[in-house]
């Protein structure tokens, strides 16, 4: 069999491997972990930030230990198999402790973070290893067509996750299943022998330290790396940590997040056109500006509709933001680096953008979200002093600092000891095309039809009271509540639920009405404050939108002297 035929037969197998490779990451990092950790687990923002920092931390740690061994001693497909098996077991264990563990407070978080961090350390080296398999065995020029299946994998797995309830950590099991499947499947991939030890005088440079000397000899390149690195901090790391909670609190269908990857396919195809017309340097500048614009648009998202125009535009900007900042920055660095430093420069860019930048972005989201000015309005009925010993322990471990006075202690405990209000889905969406985006409800309705009327239909959310389907509840409609009603698996006293609703609209009479938009907004974080106007630096408004805009302007003002290494192609 000729070499070309062997490569042609390997192509579909490589596509499947790349599909699974990014299905693993997309299973939990797409939106599910953010929504689950903030909604069901009620973790503080900084702890959520640490969970999302696990993958970029893996990008920092794994080159120190795993990459050198994998390159020298073992075939790539065998290392991929082992790492995905270990990472899959860690993700399955994370799901189990979320569902069944008796661990509480900081102990629970440390164990969960440790498992996700271990999975990240196992996962990150496999991207480079799978890439090496693809480059070696794919037909000439076909590698980009293999890589696009990674985007398809992210899209498909997010549609699967969107059909599952986010109140349970099922996404961890889906990720674990994909990882174990790829661990087994990778053993069937074409053999890719190890590279062996570096030649005499050659050193391994996974962190890109060899490129540091280029920063000291080329001021323009140093400025470029400085601006792109700082501009990347509020980019992907911040975005993936925030989008799940943002979508859930606005009541948007989770399937909408797949617009991120569809737009990625589109803007990736446009990237060569823009590079040819304006050059790589200015493509990167556009990428920085796009991130600033995107967060501003997200901040304008409303609560009135299930598919808000601002949110859709912001999601569709993902491909522009990612391709024009990250991909173009790698391409510029590659064009700038001399032949003997190309690998080191790429290692340095990956270390800064995917490792340090995304870690700081994830932690930055957690810090900003927890600022007092960004907390949700008081929407629930406080349990006052009616707290069990375990509740006091749980709240104090999560929110109370050792330096707090007794008065501070009880203030913080009672702030978080509130009635958890039920969901309220969009009644109008049930009669429009939007209902097809709510995959979870579609699956639930399909299961109900199969079960017939064997058991009483369970009440999922407050929309069951909305008789005229106008996304408003009047006193007359609320009278249909029983003295005790189970909604979404939680039992509510009619009196306490009515008191919470009246509090949201500041009603002092028994007759009142409440709109779904006001209901959602009262329980939502101050997203404009988080994204745009976070007064977290001595009173200076510096959210991710303004932070990225700052470095966009910095590049515009002082980046004109940076040499454009890639000449635009002639216009045709």
The alpha carbon dihedral of 73, 77, 80, 81 has a sign of negative
pLDDT tens column, 417-450: 556 788 888 888 766 666 666 666 666 566 555 5
Fold for the domain defined by 207-376+528-572: Growth Hormone; Chain: A; (1.20.1250)
More confident residue, 529 or 166: 529
Predicted structure pTM score: 0.80
Residue with tokens 């639930």: 444
* pLDDT for the residue 129: 82
Percent of the chain with pLDDT over 90: 22
- In degrees rounded to 5, what are phi and psi of residue 297? -65, -40
pLDDT, tens digit, for every residue of 141-151? Answer: 667 778 889 88
pLDDT digits (tens, 9 = 90+) for 315-329: 999 999 998 998 888
Q: Distance between CA atoms of 448 and 209, rounded to whole angstroms?
A: 58
418 contact partners, CB below 8 Å, separation of at least 6: 378, 379, 380, 381, 382, 383
Q: Mean of the pLDDT values across residues 394-405?
A: 62
For residue 75 the two structure tokens come to: 């075939």
Domains 1-196 and 207-376+528-572 share a fold: yes
pLDDT at 340 (0 to 100): 67
Rounded CA separation 558/562 (Å): 8
State how far the alpha carbon of 381 is from the alpha carbons of 43, 89, 200, 386, 421, in Å: 20, 41, 71, 12, 9
* Per-residue model confidence (pLDDT) at position 286: 92
258: which DSSP letter?
G
Tell me the domain boundaries of the chain.
1-196, 207-376+528-572, 458-523
Instruction: Tell me the percentage of the chain whose pLDDT exceeds 70.
Output: 75
CA distance 248 to 311: 12
| Token pair for 120 | 């990240």
If one compares 113 and 278, the residue with the highest pLDDT of the two is 113
Higher-confidence residue: 4 or 26? 26
Residue 401 has pLDDT above 90, yes or no: no
- The pLDDT of residue 114: 94
Q: Is the pLDDT of residue 133 over 80?
A: yes
Q: What are 197-249's pLDDT values in tens digits?
A: 454 455 555 555 556 666 667 777 888 888 889 989 999 899 999 998 898 88
**3-class secondary structure, 491:** strand
1-196 homologous superfamily: MFS general substrate transporter like domains (1.20.1250.20)
- Is 459 in contact with 416 (CB distance < 8 Å)? no
* Measured distance CA(297)–CA(65) in Å, rounded: 41
Distance between CA atoms of 85 and 178, rounded to whole angstroms? 10
Q: What is the pLDDT of residues 329-346, one digit of tens each?
A: 888 877 777 776 666 777
Query: Which residues have C-beta within 8 Å of that of residue 540, sequence separation ≥ 6?
Result: none
Confidence of residue 276 (pLDDT cuts 50, 70, 90): confident
Name the 3-class secondary structure at 382. Answer: strand
pLDDT at 439: 63
What's the mean pLDDT in 8-28? 88
pLDDT of residue 203: 54
Mean per-residue pLDDT over the chain, rounded? 80
């Amino acid at each position: 069999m000729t070499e070309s035929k062997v490569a042609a037969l390997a192509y579909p197998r490589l596509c499947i491997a790349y599909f699974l490779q990014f299905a693993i990451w997309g299973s939990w990092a797409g939106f599910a972990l953010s929504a689950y950790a903030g909604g069901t687990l009620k973790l503080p923002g900084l702890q959520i930030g640490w969970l999302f920092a696990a993958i970029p931390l893996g990008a920092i740690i794994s080159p120190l230990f795993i990459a050198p061994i994998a390159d020298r001693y073992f075939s790539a497909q065998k290392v991929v198999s082992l790492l995905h098996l270990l990472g899959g077991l860690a993700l399955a264990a994370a799901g189990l402790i979320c569902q069944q563990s008796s661990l509480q407070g900081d102990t629970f978080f440390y164990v969960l973070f440790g498992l996700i961090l271990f999975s990240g350390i196992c996962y990150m080296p496999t991207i480079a290893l799978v890439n090496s398999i693809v480059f070696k065995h794919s037909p000439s020029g076909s590698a980009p067509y293999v890589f696009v299946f990674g985007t398809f994998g992210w899209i498909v797995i997010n549609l699967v996750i969107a059909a599952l309830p986010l109140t349970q950590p099922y996404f961890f099991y889906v990720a674990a299943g994909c990882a174990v499947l790829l661990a087994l499947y990778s053993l069937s991939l074409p053999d890719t022998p190890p590279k062996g030890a570096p030649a005499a005088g050659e050193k391994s440079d996974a962190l890109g330290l060899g490129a540091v000397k280029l920063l000291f000899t080329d001021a323009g390149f140093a400025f470029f790396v400085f601006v792109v690195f700082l501009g990347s901090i509020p980019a992907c790391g911040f975005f993936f940590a925030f989008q799940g909670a943002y979508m859930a609190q606005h009541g948007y269908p989770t399937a909408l997040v797949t617009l991120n990857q569809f737009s990625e396919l589109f803007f990736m195809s446009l990237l060569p056109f823009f590079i040819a017309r304006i050059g790589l340097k200015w493509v990167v500048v556009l990428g920085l500006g796009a991130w600033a614009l995107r967060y501003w648009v997200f901040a304008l998202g409303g609560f009135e509709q299930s598919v808000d125009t601002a949110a859709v535009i912001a999601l569709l900007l993902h491909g522009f933001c990612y391709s024009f900042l990250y991909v173009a920055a790698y391409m510029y660095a590659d064009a700038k680096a001399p032949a003997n430093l190309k690998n080191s420069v790429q290692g340095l860019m990956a270390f800064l953008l995917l490792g340090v930048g995304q870690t700081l972005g994830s932690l930055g989201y957690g810090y900003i979200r927890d600022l007092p000015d960004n907390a949700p309005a008081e929407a629930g009925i406080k349990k006052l002093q009616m707290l069990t010993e375990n509740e006091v322990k749980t709240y104090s471990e999560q929110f109370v600092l050792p330096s707090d006075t007794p008065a501070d202690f009880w203030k913080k405990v009672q702030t978080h000891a509130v009635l958890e209000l039920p969901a309220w889905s969009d009644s109008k969406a049930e009669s429009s095309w939007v209902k097809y985006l709510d995959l979870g409800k579609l699956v639930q309705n399909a299961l109900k039809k199969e079960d017939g009327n064997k058991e009483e239909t369970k009440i999922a959310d407050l929309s069951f009271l909305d008789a005229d389907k106008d996304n408003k509840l009047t006193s007359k409609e609320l009278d249909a509540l029983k003295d005790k009603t189970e909604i979404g698996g939680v039992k509510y006293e009619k009196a306490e639920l009515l008191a919470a609703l009246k509090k949201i609209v500041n009603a002092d009479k028994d007759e009142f009405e409440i709109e779904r938009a006001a209901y959602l907004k009262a329980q939502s974080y101050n997203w404009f404050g988080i994204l745009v106007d976070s007064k977290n630096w001595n009173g200076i408004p510096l959210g991710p939108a303004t932070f990225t805009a700052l470095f966009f302007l910095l590049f515009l003002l002082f980046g004109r002297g940076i040499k454009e290494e890639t000449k635009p192609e002639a216009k045709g």
